[in-house]
Amino acid sequence: MSLRQHLLISLISAFAMQTATASGPTDELKPATFSYYKEINNIVVQRVVQALVAHIALADKSLITITFRVDGSGNLKDLRVASSANRYVERTSLRAVQSLKLPAMPKSVIAEQGHNWMDISIEINISDIVRQRT
């Protein structure tokens, strides 16, 4: 992967963190839960952007919404990927996220939430990727 692609992935990860939510707005999450959420968000966004960056022209102007539940062991459940109008983006993003093994949920997060799972919803705006790439 080229240096330009690595830089692009880093920029997109930072942007996506601003638009993502986990069981409500991220400013309402307690400290340990927010830290774990950020870690999960970064892993997912980087994987999706890596999968799409090679064929970014096919993904132009799509908004990807990725939702899933992560259990205490870091397993994904109920994974759904939706795109505003692009089946290529949906399939590529789904394949990229399905294979992830996420880190186990720290005990401090379980204690803050009172349960050992977290619902995650991440939005990635492909138009922003295209603008930053050009």
Question: Do 126 and 13 meet the contact criterion of CB atoms below 8 Å apart?
Answer: no
- By residue count, the chain amounts to 134
pLDDT (tens digit per residue) in 27-75: 577 889 999 999 999 899 888 888 877 766 666 667 888 999 999 999 9
Give the Cα separation of 65 and 74 in Å (integer). Answer: 20
Neighbours of 50 (CB within 10 A): 16
State pTM to two decimals: 0.73
CB 82 within 8 A of CB 63: no
**CA atoms within 13 Å, Cβ hemisphere of 119:** 5
Residue 130, pLDDT score: 56
